[in-house]
Structure 1
Amino acid sequence: MRAIADTLSARFNPVAVRGEISGFSRAASGHCYFSLKDDTGQVRCALFRRSAEQLSFAPRDGQVVEAQGKLDVYGPRGDLQLIVDSLKPAGQGALFEEFLRLKARLEAEGLFDAARKRALPPQPRSIGVVTSLGAAALRDVITALRRRVPHLPVVVYPAAVQGAQAPAELCAALQTAYRRHEQTGESAVLLLVRGGGSLEDLWSFNDETLVRTVARAPMPVVCGVGHETDFTLADFVADLRAPTPTAAAELCAPTREARLGELAYLGERLAEAAYGAIDQRAQRLDRLAQRLGRPSGRLHDNHQRLMGLQHRLQRGLLLAAQRQQNRLQSLQTALPLALRRAQEQHSARLQRLDAALGLLDPHLVLERGYAFLTDAQGLAITRVAQTRAGQALRATLSDGELGLTVNL
């Protein structure tokens, strides 16, 4: 068997194999065992702990990968196996290069700057979650939030998290959350989450439009996509990156014990402030008591002060009464003169009004040779058009009236 293994090693190694993972298992020692298969066959593989710790993803059954390693023969069973040195999802190289190019461009624009990052609200009034309704990540987030902050409302904005339609749906869900936040204050903090997967599975969270949409968020955004070793561009642009969806929920929802600890600390500070204020008041009271001295002496001083105020009040009242009496005498002297002047002014005004009224007397006009004509009904005749032949009229002169007949 050793000779066969040496021959294989000399003839083929190292080798690169592309296939679908089948029967993946991880032993307690950290070693991983699985098979790689395609349409023509399969080969057993062993990925030892040191190499397994270097993986950037979590291998799973059905995943197509590219493995590099050495062919060997497992002596006890005589099986051909591949000792895997490195393992990556198929096609990861091209995707990863695209990831790095887009990351460098967005980073140059400042979208990942630390100065843009906002602190999470210490006590949010509601929490929003953008993810798929069927995702395990949603169940993990809801479980964590119910355990830590059962009193807070949780709003879910559903969207696909994998597939060609995922970026557009994620952007639409984010825009909905932004609009509601600006209109009603809904979702003081927003969680963008999904479970782990390959680079292809998580590629929706590297979409440029999605990254720019996250950058425009009016509220802090926590990104919890994949596992601890998974990184997406959404992680870099978010205000805070969480290693898992559960960790994202825990970051924005401090435990009940932490809140109680804060309240206890604030209670201690309040008690200290209250005791300090009481001590200050007590010291001030002691100083006032010292200044007060014996009550009898204080009462004597107050009595003397009261007598002085009473004397000043009496003098003030006498002076005020005297001033009022003098003013009253002056008014009594001036009143007849003022009445006489007012009467003269009113008499002169009446004379002027009587003269003006006399000028308006119609009899003065009649005395100058004019007559006032009226018809049988007593209506004034002012125009020829008001008369007719044979009509009886009455003329008023300065010394009497005449009957007239119209003769046209």
Structure 2
Amino acid sequence: MPSLSNQNIYTVSRLNAEVRLLLENEMGIVWLVGEISNFSAPVSGHWYLTLKDSRAQVRAAMFKGNNRHVRFRPQNGQQVLVKARMSLYEPRGDYQIIIESMQPEGDGRLQQEFEQLKLKLAGEGLFAQTLKKPLPENPQRVGIITSKTGAALHDILNVLKRRDPSLPIVIYPTMVQGEEAAIQIAQAIGRANTRNECDVLIVGRGGGSLEDLWCFNNEIVARTIAASQIPIISAVGHEVDVTIADFVADVRAPTPSAAAELVSRDNSHKKQAFANYQHKLTSAWRYYVAQQKSYINQLQYRLDKQHPMYRLQRQQQILDERENRLKQAITHHLNDTRRHISSQEYHLQLQSPVKRIGEQKHALQIAQQKLNEAMQRKMMKSRYQFGLLAEKLDTVSPLSTLSRGYSITQTNKGKVIRHASDVKSGDQIVTRLADGELTSTVD
């Protein structure tokens, strides 16, 4: 049998601590979808719950520093998408997740797919500024890829008519919402490139929800825009709406009207060129900020893992669990006590004590009478015995001896004089009689 050193022998605490570190360091951040059950929100402000699907479940905790950002109140049975890090609850050895963000499954799944595709395409370099094609300074013909009945087309045409009525326009009508919209948008871009009749394209639509704009977050549309030989301006939604098409397009316009401003000619063409460069700079800056934010998040995550807050959170979780166990124990004890009292009351009612109380009262009266009589006899006997003892004591009492004519002589210090040699001439002595004392001086 091989010899074991102390370093090879684990305690349970050390094993759980190292497993927790392995989970947190190796797994990192995960996205998880599941149904909430066993939701609990103690007074500490933290949330504890179980996420499950049809075949498995996992314990989860969300501390108050993170759950205060959740815009809804979780309910048992609700489907959610969470961003979490793997961990281990060391006192019990339970594997668990620590939730950092939570959102309803529908919106959350779309946002997750958006972030995943964004990271994927960014990793392939489709957002790189070196791939961006410059817009023509004086476009000869403008192509518009949008819905023929949408407000976006109306806004673009109004701006172009006001700024440059002579500018030729080609409209490539397509759906901009629904399941088939992404394919139609990609086909329209391909058709415009095949015809090669325009030197700039505006691709977009009016504002809407994330689900309404989802076709512009489609990978096919993104790759088609990146492959286009004609410069493309992405003009999707309002200024606050951001799609994958905005990142991969050569220029992003905050609105369809702004896209029309970019391609139209007027006396302020220098201002337009400046705006164009400004938009490119903004896109480049946003991409740079997104990269730096991702890097900072990674550093922050590594820093957070060493933060004492996590230890406090784990200790708080232990405290919440023990508080819950204490409440359960108290409740169980109270229930047992109530059941015992109910059982005793039931048996007491079956054996009514009224008759027994009457009998006991009668017996108590008899016993009390006997006790009083015994006490009287005992006191009489004790008085008699006390008188006898008093007589005997009086017989041997020094006071009795004094009453018969004797006396006791003491020095002034209280010493009894038994011999003449106990005093000398000039000493004061005190003689105690039956009635009073005499003070004398020895001559």
TM-score category, normalised to shorter length: 0.3 to 0.5
TM-score for both structures, normalised by structure 1: 0.42
TM-score for both structures, normalised by structure 2: 0.38
